[in-house]
């Protein structure tokens, strides 16, 4: 049983969605994640949850490079959203990106109040064990 009940995977790569589902399934990580193709879809869902009085996601796996609203923009909007609401517990966010750019890695440190760690794609079983 996973300690995370409500998990958001925010990534425009449907292959990554497929792989992460398989990793969860094959390793008995008992969650039913919600998948979003960009940050805007996810932030709209979070706002909807707030309006309904539902708790925030427990865990977010967030890509950086996406169309419409990228990971950095999502983090900025998520920060604003969180300051206007109280949550039951803390949402844990992991960046999951194919970018090994030093500037992205350093920029992630600017969000250390929100981001717990940075993983490179493809995610491995070892990476998942660090999270779950």
pLDDT tens, position by position, 81-91? 875 544 455 78
Each of the 132 residues of the chain gets a pLDDT tens digit; together they read 567 888 999 999 999 999 999 888 888 888 889 999 999 999 999 999 888 888 888 999 999 999 999 999 999 999 888 755 444 557 899 999 999 899 999 999 999 988 999 999 988 888 988 888
pLDDT the model gives residue 86: 46
Q: Which CATH number fits domain 7-131: 3.30.70.260, 3.40.50.300, 3.40.50.2300, 1.20.1300.10?
A: 3.40.50.2300
Buried b (16+ CB within 10 A) or exposed e, 18-40: eebeebbeeeebebebebbbbbb
Reported pTM: 0.91
């Amino acid at each position: 049983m996973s300690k995370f009940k409500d998990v958001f995977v925010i990534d425009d790569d449907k292959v990554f969605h497929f792989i992460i589902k398989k990793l969860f399934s094959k390793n008995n990580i008992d969650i039913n994640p919600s998948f979003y193709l960009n940050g805007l879809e996810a932030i709209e869902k979070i706002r909807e949850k707030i309006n309904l009085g539902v708790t925030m996601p427990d865990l977010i796996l967030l890509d950086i490079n996406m169309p419409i609203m990228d990971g950095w923009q999502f983090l900025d909007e998520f920060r604003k959203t969180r300051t206007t609401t109280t949550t039951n517990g803390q949402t844990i966010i992991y960046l999951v990106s194919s970018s090994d750019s030093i500037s992205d890695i350093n920029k992630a440190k600017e969000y250390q109040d929100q981001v717990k760690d940075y993983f490179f794609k493809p995610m491995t079983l070892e990476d998942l064990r660090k999270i779950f």
